[in-house]
Amino acid sequence: MPSPAPSRQPYNIGAHFQRGLVWFRRDLRYFDHAALHYALRHCREVYCVFVFDRDILDALLARGLKADRRIEFIRASVEELRSALREAGGDLIVVHDHPRHAIPEIARKLSIEAVFANHDEEPSAQARDEAVRKVLAQLPCAWFDFKDQVIFERNEILNGQGKPYGVFTPYKNAWLAALTPFDLRAYPTEPYFGALAKPPQALAQPTPALEAMGFARTNLSEIALPSGMSGGQTLLDEFEERMDDYHARRDFPAVRGPSYLSTHLRFGTVSIRTLAARAHAAMLRGSRGAATWLSELVWRDFYFMILHHRPDLADGAAFHPEFDRIRWVDGDTGDARFEAWKAARTGYPLVDAAMLQIFQSGYMHNRLRMVAASFLIKDLGVDWRRGEQYFADVLNDFDFSANNGGWQWAASSGCDAQPWFRIFNPVTQSEKFDPQGRFIRKYLPQLAKLPDKYIHAPWTAPANVLKEAGIVLGETYPVPIVDHAAARAATLDRYAVTKAHRTSGAEAAALSKASADD
């Protein structure tokens, strides 16, 4: 039996303070906000701050990511939050600095007695917070942090032996069994807005411009991703009208099936408690779509929990260490294959369309994330870590725990991953999930005139069909970079070095044959 998870209980702050500081990070909203709630209730005056973290931003610039949609999204969301706090009687101090310097310095200038923040599970963020805590303690200034970005975190959902789950379904069952209405209840803030305070003019400087921080404008306004709290609410309202059909529509990239809320979840412009509460309530009313969507939110908690117990994943470790024995295709061949994958030149239309989607918009449909990752790893034989880093560089909704979990799932090296012998067939996936080629035609207009029968595998089209469609393979569209059947055989051999290869040769052949058209 799983260990019961405790229902959410109020934090015992144990004191009241004259002045408190709320440090906003990945929680860019003023409502249902744990840290803001407790600061407003325990401080006579509450100041608010957001730091454009130079430790993060300078690293992005060093990687050449000057036109980063995420920074533009954050800035727009910060501006909306700042306006809302001003209307409520406060303001938001916004600086471009290293947090280890900025937070203690602001606390010193304002005579802050306690800093309030919400948990961030990434190891680098925890190291940052520990460094800030140590400096604050010397002022002296207290530190309080709270669970806010998940429903259950860290050690709240454990198995019967008191250990973390490594398989999703039993975790999900324990998660649902532990859930109470209190876990989904919002943290009220508006009744306590009277405690919000405006900082002195010296700290109330304008929000830094993108250009001042070294970044350039992007196409954010053109890609239908509204920013800020208002944008999150708009997307949630729209999704609720079609949530009941989520289970039936979510796998088809040409259909409006997903919620498109992942970037808002990543930066906290929506509340996870709001989303889970609405999904759970609809599920109890019998909505299959809501039940499926709630499972996706539980997966998010699951991956955060895994990262808490396995911080070494952030250093590139495989969840199952035996998979680190695999010898990937490297050198010039590996580099060429990786670059072709990034540049949408694999010759497999669904994969190429997916890679163009992420390049042009910073978004990739979840089904296509699995297909594109599987292709890089198990068709091209390229180390999954290279794909993981590319997604980390370009995804608007990049969250380390989910990104790492997804890539290790595709590589069969992660928790509850797909079996090593399961290899997505990119043509079969295309025929199944984009049957009329609508998604392919959107991103690969050079293939638009191909009949549906051939658009998933143009190299199978007769010469006259290609000519009528205006396609010259190798010129207007690439020939396939690899043969899928040969690549699958090579992958089965490559994975034989792992302990996961426990089946006999005959069993492996049967299993791989059965999964060849996944």
What string of H, E and C letters represents the secondary structure of 288-351?
HHHHHHHHHHHHHHHHHHHHHHCHHHHHCCCCCHHHHHCCCCCHHHHHHHHHHHHCCCCCCHHH
Residues, the chain: 518
Helix (H, G, I), strand (E, B) or coil at 58: helix
pLDDT of residue 504: 44
Element (H, E) at 170: helix 168-178
Average pLDDT over residues 92-118: 98
pTM for this prediction: 0.94
Distance CA 357, CA 365 (A): 9
Distance CA 253, CA 257 (A): 8
Q: Edge-to-edge strands of the sheet including 114-118?
A: 93-97, 43-53, 17-24, 114-118, 142-146
CB burial of 138-175 (b: ≥16 within 10 Å; e: otherwise) equals eeebbbbbbbbbbbbbbebbbbeeeebbbebeebbebb
pLDDT of residue 418: 79
**Structure confidence by residue, pLDDT tens digits, 474-497:** 999 999 999 999 999 999 999 998
Cα of first residue to Cα of last residue in the chain, in angstroms, is 34
Query: Could you tell me where the DSSP H helices lie in 179-325?
Result: 228-240, 246-249, 262-267, 272-284, 288-309
DSSP state of 376: I
- Residues with Cβ within 8 Å of 513's Cβ and at least 6 positions away in sequence, in order, are none
Helix (H, G, I), strand (E, B) or coil at 46: strand
Distance CA 327, CA 311 (A): 24
Place of tokens 């060429």: 336
Positions annotated as catalytic residues are: 296, 299, 328, 366, 384, 407
Q: Residues within the annotated binding site?
A: 246, 293, 296-303, 397-399
Distance CA 366, CA 293 (A): 13
Burial class (CB in 10 A: 0-12, 13-18, 19+), 348: buried
| Residues 259 and 295 sit within 8 Å (Cβ to Cβ) | no
Please name each of the domains of the chain with its CATH number: 17-148 (3.40.50.620), 150-188+230-309 (1.25.40.80), 321-514 (1.10.579.10)
- Beta-bridge partner residues of 143: 115
* Structure-token pair, residue 2: 């799983």
Task: Count other C-beta atoms under 10 Å from residue 371's C-beta.
Answer: 25
Q: Residues within the annotated binding site for FAD?
A: 246, 293, 296-303, 397-399
Give 13's pLDDT tier (boundaries 50, 70, 90). confident
**Structure confidence by residue, pLDDT tens digits, 167-178:** 999 999 999 999
Reference 207, options 370, 35, 74; nearest CA is 74
- Residues with Cβ within 8 Å of 167's Cβ and at least 6 positions away in sequence, in order, are 415, 416
Reference 379, options 410, 418, 355; nearest CA is 410
**Structure confidence by residue, pLDDT tens digits, 243-289:** 999 999 999 999 999 999 999 999 999 999 999 999 999 999 999 99
**Structure confidence by residue, pLDDT tens digits, 120-153:** 999 999 999 999 999 999 999 999 999 999 999 9
Average pLDDT over residues 460-469: 97
Task: Count other C-beta atoms under 10 Å from residue 427's C-beta.
Answer: 18
* Structure-token pair, residue 471: 């396609």
| Residues 184 and 71 sit within 8 Å (Cβ to Cβ) | no
> 515 or 357: which carries more pLDDT confidence?
357
Mean per-residue pLDDT over the chain, rounded: 94
Give 4's pLDDT tier (boundaries 50, 70, 90). very low
Distances (CA, A) of 1 to 77, 162, 502: 43, 10, 29
Q: 384 — phi, psi (to 5°)?
A: -60, -25
pLDDT of residue 11: 75
Q: 382 — phi, psi (to 5°)?
A: -95, 140
Distance CA 20, CA 14 (A): 14
| Residues 429 and 350 sit within 8 Å (Cβ to Cβ) | yes
pLDDT of residue 506: 46
Instruction: List the single range of 58-67, 152-161, 422-431, 496-505 with lowest mean pLDDT.
Output: 496-505
The torsion angle over the Cα atoms of residues 192, 198, 199 and 205, rounded to 10 degrees, is 120
* Structure-token pair, residue 326: 């695999």
Query: What is the distance, to the nearest Å, from the Cα of residue 53 to the centroid of all Cα atoms in its chain?
Result: 19
Q: Is the dihedral of CA 102, 108, 111, 115 positive or negative?
A: positive
pLDDT at 339 over 70: yes
Average pLDDT over residues 200-229: 96
Give 417's pLDDT tier (boundaries 50, 70, 90). confident
